[in-house]
């Protein structure tokens, strides 16, 4: 295969990967109300704000953002005890 074809295949692969990642991170929340309530009850011990988040319609991207924020808050709390 010529080098230009390899580059073309690489670029197309990257574009497809980015498109699929974008589509996945913006998928609608398809949980039923009962599943949302069950998730909220499961997370009630983590605090009411985290339990309430489970009742909202959120995309996987929003959930990932919340998880990253929670992790950074935990790291900050652990490394800077007051």
The pLDDT of residue 15 is 96
The pLDDT of residue 82 is 65
pLDDT of the chain, 82 residues: tens digit per residue = 677 788 899 999 999 999 999 999 999 988 899 999 998 999 899 888 888 888 989 899 998 998 899 899 888 888 886 6
The pLDDT of residue 3 is 72
| 9 to 4, 20, 21, 22: CA distances (angstroms) | 9, 16, 18, 20
The pLDDT of residue 16 is 97
């Amino acid at each position: 295969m010529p080098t230009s074809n390899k580059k073309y295949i690489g670029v197309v692969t990257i574009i497809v990967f980015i498109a699929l990642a974008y589509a996945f991170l913006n998928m609608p929340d398809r949980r039923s109300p009962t599943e949302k309530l069950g998730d909220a009850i499961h997370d009630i011990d983590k605090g009411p704000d985290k339990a309430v988040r489970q009742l909202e319609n959120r995309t996987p991207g929003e959930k990932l953002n919340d998880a990253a924020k929670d992790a950074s808050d935990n790291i900050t709390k652990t490394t800077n005890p007051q």
